[in-house]
Amino acid sequence: MATRRKFLADCGMFAGSAGFSYLALNRLSWSGPEKKPGKKSPMSLSFRPYELHLRHVFTLASGSRSVTPAMLTEIRFEDTVGYGEASMPPYLGESVESVTGFLKKVDLSHFDSPFFVEEIVAYIDSLAPGNHAAKASVDIALHDLVGKLMNQPWYRIWGLDPRKTPNTSFTIGIDTAEVVKEKVREAAPFRILKVKLGQKNDREMIETVRSQTDKPLCVDVNQGWTDKKMALEMIHWLKEQGVVFVEQPMPKESVDDIAWLTANSPLPVIADEAIQTAADFSKIQGAYSGINVKLMKCGGMHAAYTMISMARAMNMKVMIGCMTETSCAVSAAAQLSPLADWADLDGNLLINNDLFDGIKIMDGKIMLNELPGIGITKK
Ligand code: MG
Residue where one domain finishes, among candidates 94, 127, 156: 156
Give the structural domain span for 184: 160-378
Residue where one domain finishes, among candidates 96, 124, 156: 156
Among 332, 355, 305, which Cα is nearest to 21's? Answer: 305
Calculate how far, in angstroms, residue 174's C-alpha sits from the geometric centre of ligand 1: 13
Calculate how far, in angstroms, residue 350's C-alpha sits from the geometric centre of ligand 1: 15
**pLDDT tens-digit series, residues 39-79:** 556 899 999 999 999 987 776 666 778 999 999 999 999 99
Phi and psi at residue 214, to the nearest 5°: -110, 20
Give the Cα separation of 372 and 370 in Å (integer): 6
Q: Indicate the SS3 state at residue 116.
A: coil
Strands 63-77 and 43-60: antiparallel
One domain, residues 135 and 226: no
One domain, residues 20 and 98: yes
Q: Given this model, what pLDDT does residue 8 score?
A: 44
One domain, residues 218 and 273: yes
Q: 166: which DSSP letter? A: P
DSSP 26-62: GGG---SSPPPTTSPPSEEEEEEEEEEEEEEEEEETT
Give the Cα separation of 123 and 209 in Å (integer): 46
Among 159, 156, 165, 161, which Cα is nearest to 374's? Answer: 156
**CATH assignment at residue 332:** 3.20.20.120
Calculate how far, in angstroms, residue 82's C-alpha sits from the geometric centre of ligand 1: 28
The separation between CA 323 and the C-alpha centre of its own chain, rounded to angstroms, equals: 7
Residue where one domain finishes, among candidates 156, 174, 206: 156
One domain, residues 104 and 206: no
Give the dihedral sign, CA 240/245/251/254.
positive
Contacts for 79 with CB less than 8 Å, ≥ 6 apart: none
Rg (CA), the chain: 21
Q: Given this model, what pLDDT does residue 10 score?
A: 43
Q: Given this model, what pLDDT does residue 62 score?
A: 67
One domain, residues 63 and 177: no
* Structural domains counted in the chain: 2
Number of Cβ atoms within 10 Å of the Cβ of 337: 25
One domain, residues 279 and 325: yes
Give the Cα separation of 70 and 51 in Å (integer): 6
One domain, residues 243 and 126: no
Low-confidence spans in the chain with pLDDT less than 70: 1-19, 29-41, 59-62
One domain, residues 225 and 198: yes
Calculate how far, in angstroms, residue 194's C-alpha sits from the geometric centre of ligand 1: 10
Calculate how far, in angstroms, residue 34's C-alpha sits from the geometric centre of ligand 1: 46
One domain, residues 262 and 373: yes
Around ion ligand 1, residues with a beta carbon closer than 5 Å are 220, 247, 272
Number of Cβ atoms within 10 Å of the Cβ of 302: 24
**H or E stretch covering 171:** strand 169-172
Calculate how far, in angstroms, residue 272's C-alpha sits from the geometric centre of ligand 1: 5
Give the Cα separation of 26 and 147 in Å (integer): 14
One domain, residues 167 and 316: yes
Q: Please state the pTM of the whole predicted model.
A: 0.91
One domain, residues 129 and 174: no
Calculate how far, in angstroms, residue 322's C-alpha sits from the geometric centre of ligand 1: 9
One domain, residues 126 and 241: no
Alpha-carbon torsion angle 294, 299, 300, 306, nearest 10: -80
Calculate how far, in angstroms, residue 229's C-alpha sits from the geometric centre of ligand 1: 21
